[in-house]
Structure 1
Amino acid sequence: MAKSKLIEANEKIAGKVVGIYKKIEDTLVGGYTKIEDAFVDRYLTEEGESVEEAKARLKRENNTSG
């Protein structure tokens, strides 16, 4: 009986920890993406090019040169 209560408590704790980790991860990735988009928009886009198009172009250029 005590063992099953410990297992249930550990599963609850694990679920909460994973949930908190996921929220932190999403926040950090979202923040990084905003910074990356701003950098690409400001310094790497060519005239009339969107951020997504610039990222795709840069990825193609890096794949062909490497």
Structure 2
Amino acid sequence: MANSKMVRANEKIAGKIVGAFGKIEKSVVGGYTKIEDAFVDRYLAKDGETIEEAKKRLRKDKEP
């Protein structure tokens, strides 16, 4: 019985850790995306071009 209580407690802790990691990952990736969008908008987009259009153009230019 002690093992089953420990297993359940361990699973509960693991679930919380995975959830916390997911939240951290989401916020980091979201922050990076915002910075990337701002950089593209400010320095790489041509007049009248949206951020998405500029990213597509840059990807296309990068291909050999």
Question: Shared topology, TM-score over 0.5?
Answer: yes
State the Cα distance separating 1:60 from its structure 2 match: 1.1
1:62 match: 62
1:52 match: 52
Identity of aligned residues (%): 64
Query: Which residues of structure 2 form unaligned runs of 5+?
Result: none
Q: Which amino acid aligns with 2:35?
A: I
Residues 28-61 of structure 1 deviation map (CA, whole Å, 9 limit, x = unaligned): 0111111000000000001110000000111111
Query: Which residues of structure 1 form unaligned runs of 5+?
Result: none
1:4 match: 4
2:15 match: 15
SS at match of 1:15: helix
RMSD: 0.7
TM-score w.r.t. structure 2 length?
0.95
TM-score w.r.t. structure 1 length?
0.92
State the Cα distance separating 1:63 from its structure 2 match: 1.7
